Structure 1
Amino acid sequence: MALIGKRVAQVEIKSKGDIFHELWKSNPHQIPSLTPTTIQNCQTHDGEVGSLGSVLLWNYSLDGKDCVAKTLVKDINEAKKSVTFEVLEGDLMEQYKSFVMHVHVDKHGSNNLVTWTVEYEKLSPSVPDPDTLMDFYKKVAKDIETHHLQN
């Protein structure tokens, strides 16, 4: 069984892709108010929000468990509407040696495609692939979409 893996999840949204990208890039602290059942808190730990090298602390619920993650903003690509986060500390690091998450938005008129890609290395072959986390990301995207369509 391979220890290094990659998972991709895509969600079509009707809300504006630019808004979605800006939220993850410049306003991640607003995300908990848009999807409170999945993400409860996001705080800046170090650096300036919206800039490379900033570190964010997240509180979230996954599989009925309260979890934490400290992430580094590793890349922001305006042309591709993508943001890359590397998990530095937290619950995921109990199972994974490395964990990097990319969120990318493709804009197509009134419909936009959000793509979540995770690249990871497991600590052992018995560690499950992060499939429930991919479902988590889909739910987050739909919660954000629902909020923006209501306003």
Structure 2
Amino acid sequence: MPLSGTIVKQVNIKSDGDMFLETFRYRPYHVSQMSPGMLKGVDLHEGEWGTVGSVIVWNMLQVAKEVIEAVNEENKSVRFKVTEGDIMEAYKTFAVTIRVDTHEEENVVTWTLDYEKVNEYIPNPDRLMELALNVTIDVETYHLLHLQPH
């Protein structure tokens, strides 16, 4: 079983794709309000929300301290590199990229998990991908109910 891998999953959303990405980039602390069953809280430890080099701590099934590694305005993507926390007990490296493709009323959110396991006995991060997909649904539902014109 290889130690390094990439998992990519896509979710179609009807809510505004740009708003979805902006939530994760500039206001991730709102995600815990939008998906309280999945996230307990999100805190900024260094820098400013949405800027490369900022350090954010996500308290979910596991705690993950992440740094915003890259922002691509043209590609509508944000990449987070996990630097500390429970996840790093199982993975030497772990990064999450969120990309949004907007197509009029239909938008696609792509989650990419890049990882290197500590050893061959560590499972692939399928549970973390499932968490990301569930959070996507919660954030979309919140946006459709509260932020979009009816």
TM bucket normalised to smaller: over 0.9
Match of 2:40, SS? strand
Runs of 4+ residues deviating >2 angstroms: none
Q: After superposition, what is the alpha-carbon deviation per residue over 1:65-113, rounded to whole angstroms, capped at 9, x for unaligned?
A: xx21100000011111100000000111110000000000000111100
| TM-score normalised by the chain length of structure 1 | 0.95
- Aligned residue in 2 for 1:5: 5
Match of 2:96 among 95, 101, 116: 101
Per the TM alignment, residue 136 of structure 1 is displaced from its structure 2 partner at its CA by: 0.8
Whole-Å separation in 2 of the counterparts to 1:39 and 1:114? 19
Q: After superposition, what is the alpha-carbon deviation per residue over 1:41-85, rounded to whole angstroms, capped at 9, x for unaligned?
A: 011001111111000011112xxxxx2110000001111110000
Match of 1:105, SS? strand
- Aligned residue in 2 for 1:57: 57
Structure 1 unaligned residues grouped into runs of 5+ = 62-66
Whole-Å separation in 1 of the counterparts to 2:58 and 2:124? 21
Which has more strand, going by share of residues? Answer: 1
| TM-score normalised by the chain length of structure 2 | 0.95
- Aligned residue in 1 for 2:110: 115
- Aligned residue in 2 for 1:145: 140
Per the TM alignment, residue 40 of structure 1 is displaced from its structure 2 partner at its CA by: 1.2
Per the TM alignment, residue 135 of structure 1 is displaced from its structure 2 partner at its CA by: 1.0
Match of 1:135 among 101, 123, 130: 130
Structure 2 unaligned residues grouped into runs of 5+ = none
CA-atom RMSD, angstroms? Answer: 0.7
Q: After superposition, what is the alpha-carbon deviation per residue over 1:26-46, rounded to whole angstroms, capped at 9, x for unaligned?
A: 111111000011011011001
Whole-Å separation in 2 of the counterparts to 1:121 and 1:39? 24
Indicate yes or no: 2:66 matched with 1:71: yes
Matching of residues 25-44 of structure 1 within 5 Å: 25-44=25-44
Match of 1:29, SS? helix
Whole-Å separation in 1 of the counterparts to 2:21 and 2:75? 10
Aligned-pair identity (%): 44
Whole-Å separation in 1 of the counterparts to 2:25 and 2:74? 13
